[in-house]
Amino acid sequence: MRLLYAQTPDYITGDYFEIWQCVLCGAGRTEPIPADLQAYYPAEYRRYNKLIAGIIRLLYGRRVGRWARLFTAPGSAFEMGCGNGMMLNMLRARGWQVIGSERGGNALRVARETFGLNVVQGGPDQLDAGARFDLILLFQVLEHLNDPEAAIAALAARLAPGGKLVIGVPNFASWQSGFGGAGWFHLDAPRHLQHFTLPALSRLLTKRGLSIQGVSNVSPEHDPFGWVQSLLNRIDSKPNRLTRLLMRIDPPDAANLLHLAFGCVAFLPAVPISLLSWAAQRGAMIEVTCVQDGADVVPERPARPGIAQ
C-alpha cells in the first residue's frame, strides 16, 4: 500500500482523511475509519430539492428498467442498503416481489411509511434463513462497508438458481478520479471507506464463486455532475460547495449562487466528456452483473416469492 492522498477533506465536518492505494490492483481505502460515522450523515444528506430529486428518479427509473429486462419474467428482489426504497418501489411497480434492508434513520422510515415496503433494519442476516432471490442489488453501497468481502459472501449465498447480483461502485480508475484527485466528488471520504477498480472488484467476486456477466461504465445520474463538482473543488477552497447548496445545507447566498451559475455552464462540456469516458470504459462508475460460477443462463420460469414476509 502507498499513501496516495495525505489530506482528503470531508465536506460535511471539515475533517481530513488519508487515502491509501494498493500498488497491485489500484484500489484504495480511507484511513482512519471513524469509530462513529453518525456525524458524517446529517439529516440533509442527499435530501435534494424537488427538481434534482425528480431528475434522479427519472434516471434511476431507466436503470431499474434495464435491470428488470435481464429477466424473462418478474421474480423476487432484495436490495441491501435500499435507502428510501425508491428503486425497490420501481421494481415492485413492474411486478416484482421485493424486500430491502437499511441501517436505519429517516431513509428506513420513508421506505416503510411512504412506499409501504418490507424493509428490515440491518443486513442480509435479518432475513429468513431460507430466503433466496432472483435479483440482488448492491448499488452504491459496497464502498461504504468496512468488510466488503463478507457482504459479497452473504449476498452470494442468497442467490436463487439463475439469480443475478448487480453491484455499482465509484470507479477509482476513472478519468474523473484522476482529474479530481483528493477533491474528486465521488471519493466522498469518510462515507466511502473503499475505492474500487474493476480488477479489484473482479478479484473480490471471484473469491466468492461469482462470475461477471456484464460491465457498464454508463452513469448519467453520477458522471456529468461529478465532473462539475470535481472541477469546482479544484478552484474553490470550500469542498462540494455546490452539493451543499443543492442539499440545502447552505443558504443560497451570493457566493453559492455564483457557483450554481458556473456549475450550469460547466455542465455543458461535462456531458460530452462523460460520453467519451463511457466509450473508453473509464467512466466514474462501475456496474457489474454477476452470476454464480456455471450459472450463465437464466432459466425461463414464472415469478415466485422467495421472500420471507
Percentage of residues in the chain having pLDDT higher than 70: 92
Of 302 and 196, the one with more pLDDT: 196
User: Which residue ranges form the domains of the chain, and what is each CATH number?
Assistant: 2-292 (3.40.50.150)
Instruction: Please state, in angstroms and rounded to a whole number, the distance separating the CA atoms of residues 197 and 213.
Output: 17
pLDDT tens profile 22-54: 998 899 999 999 888 888 876 666 666 677 778
23, 71, 102, 138 from 82: Cα distances, Å: 33, 21, 6, 8
According to DSSP, residue 196 is labeled B
State residue 107's pLDDT score: 82
Mean of all residue pLDDT scores within the chain: 89
Is this structure's pTM higher than 0.75?
A: yes
Other CB atoms within 10 Å distance of the CB of residue 94: 14
